[in-house]
Amino acid sequence: MNNEELKDRMALKELVDRISVLGDRKDFHAQVQLFSENAVSETFGDGKEILKLKGRLEMEKAFDSFLADIDVVYHLNGQHVVSIIGDAAYGTCYCLITLIGNEGGKKIKTTIGAVYQDDYVREGNRWLISRRIGNFEWQEKRQASPTENATNRTLGIKD
């Protein structure tokens, strides 16, 4: 592995992590700038397509709408394996997603195990995602514990 490939691998990992951080902050306008102009984002749950989006504008609106009632968004990225072929790359990233929001007057914590299959493209001197397929492999929903509620209050999130 040469220095250029190492730089590309680091840049791709940072891209994936930055997308997660911006999602956690609900800064969807900045987040979608890390996708190519006509990128495609597809999400599957239980083997069925639940969402297909094309382009930055459509993605921004959908992400904002989907997470509007969620108080806490937290992505924890794990394994990230990529193959680089010139100005294109392909990768798999495992992610643990935690969402905390209100449902029926109760704080509900949803944890999702996701695997992302990404296609990357280098445009200019930066990597972008041109296609993302998110497979939500499993999901757990439960009432948030008092400790999680106390943490939310510390962070300024209303019960």
The answer, yes or no, to whether residue 159 has pLDDT greater than 90, is: no
- Helix then strand then coil, % of the chain, to nearest 5: 30, 55, 15
CATH class, range 3-154: alpha beta
At 145 the pLDDT is 83
- Tell me the per-residue pLDDT of 111-153, one tens digit each, with 9 for 90 and over: 999 999 999 999 999 999 999 999 999 999 999 987 665 555 5
pTM metric for this prediction: 0.88
First to last CA, the chain: 50
45-65 tens-digit pLDDT: 988 999 999 999 999 999 999
